[in-house]
Amino acid sequence: MFANMLPNLGKVLSRYYGLFAQGLMYTLLLSAITVLGGVVLGSLLALMRRSKYKPVSVFAVAYVEVVRGTPLLLQLYFFYFLLPELVTFVVLSKFVSICIALVFNSAAYVCEIVRAGIEAVDPGQTEAARSLGLSSRQTMRRIVLPQAVRNILPALCNEFVAVIKETSLASTFFVGDLMTQYRTISGNMFLVIEPLLVVGVIYFILTFSLSKAIAKLERHLKAAD
C-alpha cells in the first residue's frame, strides 16, 4: 500500500497543484472575512452585553448562548437554505451565504473574548477616569479599550486559527475551499488517502505557522508590559 502511495502523491501534486492553491486561497479568504466580520459584530455584541439597558443585554446574551449551543454545521445549513429566501432583493451566492453564517458563528465567540478582555482591565482605571470627568463612553474608548487590546489580541489570533479549521465544514456546500478541492480531486482520480494527505499537510502548515506567530506575539506583549 505505502509503496503505491508515493507515485500517487506525485501524480496528485503534479496534476492538481493549481486546485490545491485555489483551495488554499478560498480557505484563507473565508477565514479572513469570518474573523474580520466576527470582530466587528462580536465587539458590538460585547458592548451590548455590558449595556445597562436590559433588553439590549438580554438580546446579546441570548445570541451568544444560541450560537454556542448549536452546531456550526446546523447554522451553515440554516443560512445556506433560509437566507436566500429571506433576502429577495439581491441574489446571494453560495460563498456569500456561507461567509455570513461563519461570521454569525464567530461573532458569538469573539463577543466573549472581547468581554473577558474588557473585564480583565483593573476597575480602578475606570473609577479614576470617571473621577477626572470623563464620560463612560470616553472612558471606554480612551482608557479601557487600549488596555483591553493586549488581552484580546492573542485570543483573536487563536480564533483565526480555529476558524481556518472550521471552514472545512464549508466543503459541504462546495464553496471552493481546501476540502472542496479534496473532494473534487478524490472523485477525479478515485483516490482517497493521497489527496487527503496533501490537504492535511497544508492545514497543518497553516495552523502551525500561525500558532508559532501567535506565541511570539504573546511573548512580545508580555515583554512590553
CATH number of the domain to which 20 belongs: 1.10.3720.10
pLDDT tens-place string over residues 140-194: 777 777 777 877 888 888 889 999 999 999 999 999 899 999 999 998 888 889 9
106 touches 35 (CB < 8 A): yes
**Domain of 26, in residue numbers:** 2-224
Given the C-alpha cell 458563528, which residue does it identify?
Answer: 105
pLDDT at 1 over 60: no
8 A C-beta contact, residue 189 and residue 11: yes
Please say if the pLDDT value at position 126 is more than 80. no
Q: What are phi and psi of 53, to 5 degrees?
A: -85, 115
**pTM confidence score:** 0.87
Q: Taking a C-beta distance cutoff of 8 angstroms, is the pair 93, 28 a contact?
A: no
- pLDDT tens-digit map of 13-29: 889 999 999 999 999 99
Confidence of residue 41 (pLDDT cuts 50, 70, 90): very high
Contact criterion met (CB below 8 Å) for 103 and 34: yes
Structural domains counted in the chain = 1
State the Cα–Cα distance between residues 214 and 208, nearest whole angstrom.
10
Cβ neighbourhood burial of 35 (10 Å; 0-12, 13-18, 19+): buried
